[in-house]
Amino acid sequence: MSLTTSPRMSDINETATSFLDIPDDLTIPQFFLDTSHAARPDRGAEIPCLIEEDTGRNIYFDELRARTFGLANALSLRWRIGEGDVVCILSPNHIDYTVAIWAIHRLGATVTAAEPSFSTVEEIAHALKATNSSFIVVHPDFLKAAIAAARSADIPIYRIILFDAPSSSNIPASHPVLSNLIQDGLKLEAQFEEKRLNAGDAKSKVAFLSFSSGTSGLPKATAISHYALIANVIQRAVHNKVNEEYVQLDEQRFRPGDISAAVLPLFHIFGVTNIHFMLFCGMSTVVMPKFDFQGMLKSIVRHCITHLFLVPAQIVLLCKNPAVKKYDLSCVRFCLSGSGPLPTNLAQLLTTIFPNASICHSYGLTELGTTVSMTSVSQRMAIPGSSGLLLPGISTRVMTEDGCVAAPGEQGELWIKGPSMAMGYADDQTATLETFVDGWMRTGDLVYIKDDEVFVVDRLKEIFKVRGFQVSPAELECHILSHPDVADVCVVGVPDEYSGEVAMAFVVLHPDAAAQSRRDLKESRKAKMGIMKHVVDAKANYKWLSGGVEFVDTLPRTATGKLLRRQLRNQARESRAR
Mind listing the pLDDT tens digit for each residue in 185-239? 999 999 999 999 999 999 999 999 998 765 555 678 999 999 999 999 999 999 9
- C-beta atoms surrounding 184 within 10 Å: 16
Q: What pLDDT, on the 0 to 100 scale, is given for residue 173? A: 62
Judge whether 17 and 419 are in contact, CB under 8 Å. yes
The architecture that CATH gives domain 28-42+61-208 is: 3-Layer(aba) Sandwich (3.40)
Kind and range of the H or E run holding 234: helix 226-239
The pTM (predicted TM-score) of the whole model is: 0.86
Q: What average pLDDT does this structure show over 400-420?
A: 92
Q: What pLDDT, on the 0 to 100 scale, is given for residue 9? A: 36
Q: Which residues pair with 495 in a beta bridge?
A: 501
The runs of H, that is alpha helices, within 57-162 are 61-79, 97-106, 121-131, 143-152
pLDDT tens-digit profile of 85-136? 999 999 999 999 999 999 999 999 999 998 887 678 988 998 999 999 999 9
Q: What pLDDT, on the 0 to 100 scale, is given for residue 118? A: 66
Count Cα neighbours of 47 within 13 Å in the Cβ-side half-sphere.
Answer: 19
Least confident of 106-115, 159-168, 207-216, 254-263: 207-216
Least confident of 42-46, 125-129, 341-345, 391-395: 341-345
Kind and range of the H or E run holding 494: strand 486-496
- Is residue 7 predicted with pLDDT exceeding 60? no
Looking at every residue in the chain, the average pLDDT score rounds to: 90
Three-state SS annotation for 138-178: ECHHHHHHHHHHHHHCCCCHHHEEECCCCCCCCCCCCCCEH
How far apart CA 107 and CA 560 sit, in angstroms, is: 29
Third-level CATH fold of 467-577: GMP Synthetase; Chain A, domain 3 (3.30.300)
CATH number of 18-22+225-420+445-459: 3.40.50.12780
What does the domain layout of the chain look like in residue ranges? 18-22+225-420+445-459, 28-42+61-208, 467-577
How far apart CA 503 and CA 498 sit, in angstroms, is: 13
Same fold flag, 28-42+61-208 and 467-577: no
pLDDT tens-digit profile of 444-460? 898 999 888 999 888 88
Count Cα neighbours of 437 within 13 Å in the Cβ-side half-sphere.
Answer: 16
Kind and range of the H or E run holding 259: strand 259-262
Using alpha carbons only, how large is the chain's radius of gyration in Å? Answer: 24
- C-beta atoms surrounding 306 within 10 Å: 22
End-to-end CA distance of the chain: 41
